[in-house]
Structure 1
């Protein structure tokens, strides 16, 4: 092996392949999907019939009442036409539809559509009669002698409470012709968890049974297709002790997914930052499905149906269902998993394959944020901690590089001595490494081990809602979005926007400069191809990262800066000349001579 350079080139090329795939394949594909989906939704809105027929959604042991509805009204009209109970908490505003007892009107007070605090707040759930229908519903499937049971069209009567707040629950009631009285108490905490306590009292003369069900129904997919690093669609932990189940919208459109009967767990539908999830009664077995229906109003649905429970005459049965609808805030989700004993609920946040790295890294960043109040600064401090953790490995890496530079003259002598005899050359090099106590691969592994950390940080910045609209300093108002400035319009001085493929902000340029300095810490490779790769790599990475979240670019620029300082100290300690300034002089001298 000649030296470590080939390993670094291989790693750099691998990263370039990933970035190139994202830039040249995934980004155009996502944009095409977005436009196609927009056209599909517009066509659907034009063709949507004014009235959809009734139907039923079958499960393995029975049917759920249909969730179909005409979808041609405005949101305001759909809300105004039905009797409702207002929701007003610290985090939420909206209303509960007394028809069906549906949660179909919900807005998130703490989140706006853009970084502008005067922009509209996020709307999560919408009534079924709108083209963007998205709602949750719980009810019952009856038996032969149960009479009519609460379903989508049941109009509940308000027994107690006129407004749902953190401190004031509401109670609804419905009595059928068979003497069954259904009492529903709905409460909500100061975040996003609704508790639905259903009591079924049998005042009749015969034993009967009812089967509780719950569903989340959504008429459309997210308008902006997600990147390959993020799951959006169906998910859940179906049964205590099981792993996370995920299904993309496209997969469910092709084939519905039915899960085995289970006890415990949860299921729902997730977006990048928001989610709706159902936690069935944990002591009763249930079966569940992820489905796509095209009978009438096309819709996606995550649902479950519990086994039937018997209610003897003069007796009552109570069941509790939890409904989560809100923002996927890490501490809130973690607290729900612990306080309600919901298995795997924290996996609602897509921590990815490197869960064991990604989540602790967020915890560290969140720790710093709580002390400094700025997630950008928290990223800088986290980078320092990561550097300290990897210092022993980095020390070996740079020490190996320094030693390789130290014996470079001896390697050149071996090349001159053995010429084209590659076998003898390799044996002589191995003997030299052994004599000098140098492991030529030692400089490669530390860099390889840091790649998962880089991708974990990318994941944290991209998926966590805490990074959404989180400012840094100056022009960076959203660490989860690309740097808004662009060199094409002179960073905003010219009155036009730069094309996306030419978008290049200040921070990507800073990152490119720091990478250029880091590359110039080493001698220019003698091989022309390698030299060209090293010369062009900072520029290529600069354009590649131009569309990446600014928080990630800031991390990379800061990490490069720390690497230059660290490498300088280690090289000086090993008595190896620091090539940075000589390389910079030679670079600019060549450019001036060409000019």
Structure 2
């Protein structure tokens, strides 16, 4: 059994490892966490009387408007709604629509559409009438329909404050004309969290029951670049309830009979997320709520709504009821999410970042990269340094792998003799092989474990590169201005030396033309590393493995440059370590034998 067969064994064992990990570790841990959460909720409910039940039939107003035949520009859509309150923070700029007290106009000051700092800021929330409205809203749902409460058409009055800035809240009021006065005070911090304090005072009438609610709405699915690289990314609904991550994609609601996802929880949050930014509403964390993800028709598309409704507030004559909501609207900066999770006790808030199945690798890897970045100031250098640390961490295991490979290479001639001698008796051949391995104390699958470890590490690097906003527009050296994007160079115009650009929309071959310098370097290192091993005896395997570096070069050309840099650097370190161990074990390095021209140039000359 040679190194090529080890590769196939590694893939199979890797799949078994993933299934076993899920079955015997992840799933039991998840069930245990759910049971603990339920026990905590039950204990809390015993101590605190449950508020008047909020029946699921009492749903927040949909907040949906039908699309216009022609979508307005953002500027025109902002003008048609009426009066607004300006919002200005170190990280956000925009406005709050007084009609409906709707958060529907926010831009991210620190992020731009391209790597050019003069390019437009990223649009986060968008008003009705624009191409893809995206907004958040808070309100009250009455137990009786005869009670008039604020809705989308309510014109609030600004009674305090001017521009909404950190440390300078604004206050809105509205009188329903039937004995209820609604007051809303909105504050914002210097990052991305809004605090909405709602209160209702009754000046006349009898007992009234109201249910506070909050919602995030996105009309239509935003246009994003979708390819096999981003296929595993989650965009759509996201939240936490019952101690578990709750997520649904837009595609989950493509079918007309798709049912809403509803859940009850004490503590948690919910919203709608893109890859790098999110709008999410956060209820009081010590109060039970009913959350829901749902989609309804919106012209030819659909309107997606994440909402929660809290328990009843019983308003007595002359009394006042109140509630405090939170709204996160901004970039999913990991440190910021964790800050809110810790300081405001928002359960699992950093799970807004799509860490993926291998979160036990992805989260620590990001932490390591982030710590190194704080020291060196460049995420590309941080990737290289982290790769060195990983190689050092796996050094004993890799050495064991290379020693096993060395033994297998030494036994190669004897294995070939056994194959020829018992070519017609496979059972006897396998018995003799096992006797040979036992006699020489060689393990043909001992070299598989390091390869198994590489799969989740490579996937973790992929996830970190693609989903963490810290990598967004993060530069490296030279032509790499964005580690989260593919290498922008292409061999088709000699990496920019020829005075023309290469279109990407040429049918079938457009993507094949966009292969940058870093993917080519990665392919070369993989090819050289493969040549350090003896060729496979099977002609079919020889051809397949000869094509692998070329296939990987074109495939990885579409991946983030940071991932390609990691893979290239890891190949170089592996080659150096493998060469050292092969020389130490007295195993011939087949690189020169496979490349006679290289041996002629750099090999040792035999004495005359």
Specify the TM-score bucket, using the shorter chain as the normaliser.
0.7 to 0.9
Partner of 1:75: 74
Question: Does the 8 Å CA contact 1:238/1:264 hold for their aligned counterparts?
Answer: yes
In the alignment, is residue 258 of structure 1 matched against residue 269 of structure 2? no
In the alignment, is residue 523 of structure 1 matched against residue 526 of structure 2? no
After superposition, give the CA deviation of every residue in 1:213-246 in whole Å (9 maximum; x if it has no partner). 111111121202542211111121124x2x1111
Question: Does the 8 Å CA contact 1:85/1:95 hold for their aligned counterparts?
Answer: yes
1:111-130 mapped onto 2 (5 Å cutoff): 111-130=111-130
C-alpha distance in structure 1 between counterparts of 2:546 and 2:501, whole Å:
31
In the alignment, is residue 360 of structure 1 matched against residue 364 of structure 2? yes
Q: Name the stretch that deviates more: 431-440 or 70-79.
A: 70-79
Partner of 1:86: 86
Please tell me the root mean square deviation across aligned C-alpha atoms, in Å: 2.3
Q: CA deviation at 1:291?
A: 1.7
Question: Does the 8 Å CA contact 1:66/1:152 hold for their aligned counterparts?
Answer: no
Alpha-carbon distance change, 425 to 91 in structure 1, aligned in 2, over 3 angstroms: same
Partner of 2:45: none
C-alpha distance in structure 2 between counterparts of 1:422 and 1:143, whole Å:
78
Q: CA deviation at 1:497?
A: 0.8
Partner of 2:248: 247
Secondary structure (helix, strand or coil) at the match of 2:363 reads helix
C-alpha distance in structure 2 between counterparts of 1:61 and 1:415, whole Å:
73
Q: CA deviation at 1:11?
A: 5.3
Alpha-carbon distance change, 371 to 146 in structure 1, aligned in 2, over 3 angstroms: farther
C-alpha distance in structure 1 between counterparts of 2:597 and 2:4, whole Å:
20
Q: Name the stretch that deviates more: 500-509 or 89-98.
A: 500-509
After superposition, give the CA deviation of every residue in 1:38-95 in whole Å (9 maximum; x if it has no partner). xxxxxxxxxxxxxxxxxxxx98322433423354443223323411111000000001
Question: Does the 8 Å CA contact 1:70/1:130 hold for their aligned counterparts?
Answer: no
In the alignment, is residue 556 of structure 1 matched against residue 555 of structure 2? no
Question: Does the 8 Å CA contact 1:146/1:209 hold for their aligned counterparts?
Answer: no
C-alpha distance in structure 2 between counterparts of 1:192 and 1:585, whole Å:
61
In the alignment, is residue 459 of structure 1 matched against residue 459 of structure 2? no
Question: Does the 8 Å CA contact 1:252/1:290 hold for their aligned counterparts?
Answer: no
C-alpha distance in structure 2 between counterparts of 1:423 and 1:173, whole Å:
86
Partner of 2:586: 575
Partner of 2:277: 274
Q: CA deviation at 1:287?
A: 2.0
Give the one of 404, 408, 433 matched to 2:408: 404
Secondary structure (helix, strand or coil) at the match of 1:164 reads coil
Partner of 1:44: none
Structure 2: gaps of 5 or more residues: 15-53, 504-509, 601-608
1:366-381 mapped onto 2 (5 Å cutoff): 366-381=370-385
After TM superposition, the score normalised by the length of structure 2 is 0.85
After superposition, give the CA deviation of every residue in 1:507-548 in whole Å (9 maximum; x if it has no partner). 011001111111111122232222222322211211111111
C-alpha distance in structure 2 between counterparts of 1:303 and 1:357, whole Å:
32
C-alpha distance in structure 2 between counterparts of 1:488 and 1:225, whole Å:
22
C-alpha distance in structure 1 between counterparts of 2:273 and 2:220, whole Å:
13
C-alpha distance in structure 2 between counterparts of 1:70 and 1:145, whole Å:
24
Q: Which has the higher contact order (CA 8 A, sep 6+)?
A: 2
Secondary structure (helix, strand or coil) at the match of 1:173 reads strand
Alpha-carbon distance change, 123 to 414 in structure 1, aligned in 2, over 3 angstroms: same
C-alpha distance in structure 2 between counterparts of 1:210 and 1:301, whole Å:
21
C-alpha distance in structure 2 between counterparts of 1:546 and 1:258, whole Å:
38
Alpha-carbon distance change, 59 to 104 in structure 1, aligned in 2, over 3 angstroms: farther
Alpha-carbon distance change, 536 to 298 in structure 1, aligned in 2, over 3 angstroms: closer
Q: CA deviation at 1:389?
A: 1.7
Secondary structure (helix, strand or coil) at the match of 2:557 reads helix
In the comparison of the two structures, how many residue pairs are matched?
544
Q: CA deviation at 1:263?
A: 2.5
Q: CA deviation at 1:407?
A: 2.0
Partner of 1:321: 325
